[in-house]
Amino acid sequence: MLGDCIRNLRMTKNVTQVELAHALSVTKQSVSNWENGNIQPSIDMLIQLAEFFHVSTDYLLGRNEKRTLNAENLTPEQIVHVQNIIDDILA
């Protein structure tokens, strides 16, 4: 399940295994092994994956299906704009 989640997030973000590996300072083989369920990332790497994909570690582990949006670097006006877009989508 974790491997599928990593793969889906990576593909959604349109990032290759090589690009993800480079961003996390690991090998492509590590990313491939995570996605195929051959090995599990360390706790530290799990945190880095969550930060890279802007999701919680619970989301990666399948404990929480909610995805969140990090609005930390947005202005109040940008946050309102994003909220309006979300409201339109859900309407």
Residue 33, both tokens: 């092994």
Cα 25 to Cα 45, 47, 76, distances in angstroms: 10, 14, 34
Q: Give per-residue pLDDT as tens, 50-80.
A: 999 988 899 899 887 766 677 788 888 888 8
Q: Average pLDDT in the 25-41 region?
A: 97
Domain borders along the chain are 2-90
Using pLDDT thresholds of 50, 70 and 90, give the confidence band for residue 9.
very high
As assigned by CATH, the class of the 2-90 domain is mainly alpha
Using pLDDT thresholds of 50, 70 and 90, give the confidence band for residue 23.
very high
Contact 21, 30 (CB under 8 A): yes
| Confidence (pTM) | 0.73
Neighbouring CB atoms inside 10 A of 56's CB total: 14
Dist CA 23 CA 89 (whole Å) = 31
Residue 3, both tokens: 């491997």
